[in-house]
């Protein structure tokens, strides 16, 4: 159960090697979190992530999870909840893809959509139901400003995040009043493995800054969190730009 300050004691990360997720969990472990489940595709990086958190004093368990295999989600994630209550599910898996390349290889583009959207629909519904059965908990979904308005240079990823974002908002409304809280997090460009080698966008931020914003959002039970916060206003303007003007922006 969350403690009196609203900090989760037990956390399930979907996408257990995500740099943003690990920065968030490190922050939570430094507060009150004791039990961490890292769900992800088996790899040395996943084991290393678990080891790093154990060194901070957390009890860490690793469980297989593949966003591209939704048929396995109910059973795999069900086993986690069967072991005890989860206060926070952090949905952090995702792939950026390679837009120029993926436009020419539709099956690659489909993989981006299936990972970021279809995988999240499945894992989101499975974990939301488990949280609802407990009667408490938060589901934090890492969306992106890229979903707010799809750009020419990044519309495959952007459209997958738009779908994810809309899904998570609807799920939050469906769960309103049940004791389960859904929080949509929309970071801008984050300096992580996902963006390594890419030219930085304005308002670039860090996994640690996203982690701090997630912690604050959890404490406030926010429904939407922008990182950095200024992007809320910026994206509101961008969203309303006429198509012809938006097309000419160097983004």
Ligand X SMILES: NC(=O)c1ccc[n+]([C@@H]2O[C@H](COP(=O)([O-])OP(=O)(O)OC[C@H]3O[C@@H](n4cnc5c(N)ncnc54)[C@H](OP(=O)(O)O)[C@@H]3O)[C@@H](O)[C@H]2O)c1
Dihedral sign computed on CA atoms, order 24, 27, 32, 37: positive
Pick the closest to residue 148 from 244, 247, 238 (CA basis): 238
Check residue 169 for interaction with ligand X (CB under 6 A): no
Kindly indicate which of the ranges 26-34, 38-46, 82-90, 129-137 contains the residues binding ligand X, using the contact rule CB under 6 A.
38-46
Out of 37, 81, 157, 167, which one is annotated catalytic?
A: 157
* Size of the residue set binding ligand X (CB under 6 A): 28
Check residue 166 for interaction with ligand X (CB under 6 A): no
Check residue 19 for interaction with ligand X (CB under 6 A): yes
* 3-class secondary-structure state, position 245: helix
Phi, psi of 218 (to 5 degrees): -65, -40
Kindly indicate which of the ranges 2-10, 66-74, 174-182, 237-245 contains the residues binding ligand X, using the contact rule CB under 6 A.
66-74
Pick the closest to residue 102 from 92, 91, 115 (CA basis): 115
d(CA 20, CA 142): 9
* 3-class secondary-structure state, position 90: strand
d(CA 15, CA 64): 10
Check residue 178 for interaction with ligand X (CB under 6 A): no
Q: Cis peptide before 88, with omega less than 30 degrees from 0?
A: no
Check residue 65 for interaction with ligand X (CB under 6 A): yes
157 is catalytic: yes
Q: Which of 30, 45, 230, 241 is in the footprint of ligand X by CB under 6 A?
A: 45
The site map against ligand X for 212-231 (x = CB under 6 A) is --------------------
Check residue 28 for interaction with ligand X (CB under 6 A): no
Check residue 233 for interaction with ligand X (CB under 6 A): no
The site map against ligand X for 77-116 (x = CB under 6 A) is ---------------xxxx-------------------x-
CB 8 within 8 A of CB 28: yes
Check residue 189 for interaction with ligand X (CB under 6 A): yes
Active-site annotation, residues:
157
């Amino acid at each position: 159960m969350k403690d009196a300050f609203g900090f989760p004691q037990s956390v399930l990360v979907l996408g257990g090697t995500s740099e943003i997720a690990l920065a968030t969990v490190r922050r939570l472990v430094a507060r009150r979190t004791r039990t961490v489940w890292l769900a992800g595709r088996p790899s040395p990086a996943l084991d290393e992530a678990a080891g790093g958190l154990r060194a901070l004093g957390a009890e860490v368990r690793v469980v297989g999870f593949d966003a591209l295999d939704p048929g396995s989600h109910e059973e795999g994630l069900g086993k986690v909840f069967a072991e005890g209550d989860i206060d926070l599910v952090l949905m952090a898996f995702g792939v950026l893809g390679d837009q120029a390349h993926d436009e020419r290889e539709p099956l690659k583009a489909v993989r981006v959509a299936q990972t970021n959207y279809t995988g999240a629909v499945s894992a989101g519904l499975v974990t939301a139901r488990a949280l609802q059965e407990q009667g408490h908990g938060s589901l934090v979904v890492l969306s992106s400003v890229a979903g707010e308005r799809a750009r020419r240079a990044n519309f495959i990823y952007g459209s997958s995040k738009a779908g994810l974002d809309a899904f998570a908002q609807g799920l939050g409304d469906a769960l309103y009043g049940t004791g389960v809280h859904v929080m949509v997090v929309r970071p801008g460009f984050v300096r992580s493995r996902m963006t390594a080698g890419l030219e930085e966008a304005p308002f670039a931020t860090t996994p640690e800054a996203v982690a701090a914003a997630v912690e604050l959002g959890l404490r406030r039970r926010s429904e939407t969190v922008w990182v950095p916060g200024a992007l809320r206003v910026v994206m509101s303007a961008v969203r309303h730009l006429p198509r012809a003007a938006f097309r000419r922006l160097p983004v």
